[in-house]
A and B are shown apart, each in its own frame.
Chain A
């Protein structure tokens, strides 16, 4: 009897098997049954026309409010739609897709909201960077009501539960964002580990969350803020870290910021033989200047890697290492070979256009533009 019920449940939810659900997968029994009438679509594809949030086919949200933080940064509050679980860990990031001129662009940003039962709004804090096309849009151009796409929160840069007793946070610029989520969550949960927080920014006006950090510094005896204003004092030299935090050797270190900061932190902690105590979040992958010059291609699911030049297609690269790559016309017209690009950049032979992570690419007419990873 039980097994018959189970197989009935399985049959019912079959068309909706892969759909994300926020609370319980049981919702998909209903969705799967309704999909018998909407096939090949899901009921979500119709409901979405009534309310853009009523679909879990692709995770999505609606921008509720954009609050400026500093001159060039803002916090975007997002109401998530169906299927997005509120069960993330402070310090994790979320992928966000924004439609600009008809095309979806994806970037990842650390969540600055804290996970709470019943309160579903997510927030990310974004700093507009001159080369960051999407960040500029998010800071200046997103009207409330705009529908954005979301990718489920992920990342290992998240405090264990319970948190370590002694912490060192070192952040620079927008690298403050994941740490802010951690600080907020610790405070809300009433946990008071001993924290030293070194934060760098050009001037006080550039410090995101300045007031909130100051207040923490005033109110919380276990939290010490050390601001480095680089226009006045120059960059923080991690070599002389001991002068600022005497006991840094004893602390679990969490560092987020530009590559230069992370590289030097890696060096310092390794020298001290403390690599295990160091946790870092890297935001950017180094991108080649000219592109189309080849690179190392990683095939994630098959776990294979190959170096190719800029004249070898990704399809050929995959075949060389023995992967059954999907292919058809081998001339870029049939779309059989399209695969999602997981990270890095590739270049289309025909147009010379560069594609980044989150794009789906024709492997038969694309080559690596620096290192990249394909999901196959």
Chain B
């Protein structure tokens, strides 16, 4: 049933966890102290590129009857939307660029180019998802209230549609994100009144009006006789953005190895353990510089969850240091190719459509969720592995996981 004793699961002592936390703090302060003109230029150029692409795409689509113009316009517009949502919107709203003290590039001022109002996003994502990351029952992002993504969540009949919901969510992603702000799970639990829901819906409705007005009324109308082609191009650009954002987010949170945690774990958690939960709860995927940029540097999801408000252009260098720490503490660093990460996520979604009685693995030892009980050896739970007597190297979680797979470690 997910991880309750995070230290035991991670094979670390309290002193280890504290030391790890100090080392992560050191990374944070190194980055904070070295932020400067180079970083500021990066985000300004990203913004310039994004706006040029958006303008270019819109202009090309004035000739949307022409096939080449249609393809070029749609591609530029889709790129612009992706960059705006991922590298700009998501990261700026996180406060990654607040240090520049520029009100035009600031978490309090930025409204992003999607149907979700940034004021809701700040609550549902920055606050709830980033504070309660992967705590079952607290983090709404585990399945967004419409899917079962870990067997820690009780199966209900409607979940049989898991793969269908998944496909619909990918297709309608921006609408899903917008509705996420209503916090339907809270409403269902009775923690939110209908009046509050209505108020949130009004805010969302207003934003939707503006977004839909732009893509499906203003620009088609401006392009006159080509209006149908422009409308289609805008819809396709939105769709491309939807699928891509969905991919990036799913590959950061639902591959095997992105662990889940129990409420008890969260309630007794120290700041140092918060760090550890973020490390164990997220997943990266391999990306070159271009793909990293297009993913808003969320191919470094682990680093992003450790330091949600450090500038995204520094995640690559942070990743090297985090990997080194994983080696030092013998912790797993969950990463893989985009294809592999997506396949694992999809396999989980498909499997969990079924009730637990049809599934083999338990919630203590399944691909998508583990607990410290996974390491239950015959005489109870085994203590921290300590040192390898031969090499003097630390033997921790990563080694334990490896030995369990290879059969060297036999559990009860």
Contacts and interface: CB of A to CB of B under 8 A. Distances in A.
Interface of A: 15, 36-41, 45-46, 49, 57-58, 99, 101-106, 328-329, 331-336, 338, 351, 358-360, 362
Contacts of B101: 103-106, 358-360
Given A328-B126, A334-B126, A360 B108 contact: yes
B214 A37 contact: yes
Nearest to A355: B101
A336 B218 contact: no
A57 B47 CA distance: 15
17 contacts: A36-B210, A39-B210, A46-B51, A104-B102, A105-B101, A333-B95, A333-B130, A333-B131, A334-B127, A334-B130, A335-B93, A335-B108, A338-B95, A338-B98, A360-B98, A360-B103, A360-B106
Contacts of B102: 104
Interface of B: 29, 32, 35-41, 48, 51-52, 55, 58, 93-95, 98-104, 106-108, 111-113, 122-123, 126-127, 130-131, 210-211, 213-214, 218-219, 222, 271, 308-309
Contacts of A15: 210
Nearest to B39: A102
Given A102-B35, A351-B29, A58 B103 contact: yes
B126 A329 contact: yes
A328 B308 CA distance: 14
A158 B271 CA distance: 53
A285 to B, nearest CB: 18
A189 B350 CA distance: 82
A40 B211 CA distance: 8
A164 to B, nearest CB: 39
B270 to A, nearest CB: 12
Q: Considering residues A36, A46, A335, A359, which has the most beta carbons from chain B within 10 angstroms of its beta carbon? A: A335
A102 B108 contact: no
Nearest to B112: A40
Contacts of A334: 122-123, 126-127, 130-131
Given A334-B126, A336-B126, A338-B95, A36 B214 contact: yes
Given A49-B48, A102-B40, A360-B101, A329 B214 contact: no
A336 B123 contact: yes
Given A39-B214, A40-B210, A333 B41 contact: no
Contacts of B58: 37
Contacts of B211: 39
A329 B123 CA distance: 9
Contacts of A338: 95, 98, 107-108
A334 to B, nearest CB: 4
A362 B289 CA distance: 32
Nearest to B43: A102
Contacts of B36: 101-103
A37 B234 CA distance: 13
Contacts of A331: 131, 271
Contact of A102 (B37, B55, B123): B37
Given A39-B214, A335-B94, 6 more contacts: A36-B214, A46-B55, A103-B100, A104-B101, A334-B122, A335-B93
A329 B222 CA distance: 44
Given A49-B51, A102-B36, A102-B40, A335 B218 contact: no
B126 A335 contact: yes
A39 B214 CA distance: 7
A46 B80 CA distance: 13
Contacts of B35: 102
Contact of B309 (A57, A106, A328, A333): A333
